[in-house]
Structure 1
Amino acid sequence: MKKLFTILAVAFSVMLIAASCFAAVDEGRGPGDHQAELTDRPAIYYEAYIHGQGWTNRCREMESAGDAYGGQTIDAISISVDINRYLKVVYRVHSTNGQWSPWVSNGAVAGTPGTAIDGIELGFVGQAAMYYDLSCKVLSGERQWTDWTKPGSTAGNLQQPIQAIRIKVE
């Protein structure tokens, strides 16, 4: 009986020590205090569907998705944000057939394989959207990268198919 009591006392002590370690991590934060989480820098990921070739590898911020050296065009794109749960990326694409896709978010596909895109609009929504902007630049028929877009503007000229895209968080 004494041995069982000793084992239980040691187990209880270990649990108390472990609980106090976890409690110290959140020390000083009230139930509604999530400011640190709101300002966690988001990680942006994207991939493009290249006409006749399929999906590119997953790209991170500032990497080029698409065919920056050849003549293939992008038909669709998927963009997601990671790390910040108070932030969501929304986007839509303009196809060479003159149609805007519906707005989609966080990993959904915008565009249709088989129809090239010639414009894209994107941004952040959510509680943390006041801390960050999202911009992109595209490579189209002129074989020159456009300037980085301003928040709320369109990347691409809505005339020439996009061959590659880069996205960054500001």
Structure 2
Amino acid sequence: MKSCRFSMIWFLTVVLTAGIFTFSASAQASGTQPEREMRAVWIASVTNIDWPSKKGLSPEEQKSEYSKLLDDVQEMGMNAVIVQIKPAADAFYPSDYGPWSEYLTGTQGKNPGYDPLAFLVEETHKRNLEFHAWFNPYRITMNHTNLNALSDDHPAR
């Protein structure tokens, strides 16, 4: 969770700094205040940086961890999450174009037994938070130098 907090702090610093300058310029130009602002937390899944915290957790453990993250997000006064759901040409949702992510089960291509993306969106919306999906369309793998070690349905094979 320490890396999650670091990721959140880093992201918030970048977003808030950019937002301050954008807001200042647009507010000065128009003389108005924006109706709302996006205050988001970035949740990375690659190498289990933020969620899930490690490979092979049960669906119940994964769900519990995500719910705890959302508790923290709400406590910080945020109104949105940006969740990495395609970390390395694999997916946190059923896909015809890539295997299940190894960061869920520990084995690339292994079905985790539930639809993580559907759960993430539903749980986020239950709390009246925005959900934004973050796809990495370029990364093939983080761990393997041998492409044959990737699952049979991996796009790099």
Question: TM-score under structure 2 normalisation?
Answer: 0.26
Q: Which has the higher strand share?
A: 1
Q: Which has the higher helix share?
A: 2
Kindly name which structure, 1 or 2, has the bigger radius of gyration based on alpha carbons.
Answer: 1
Question: TM-score under structure 1 normalisation?
Answer: 0.25
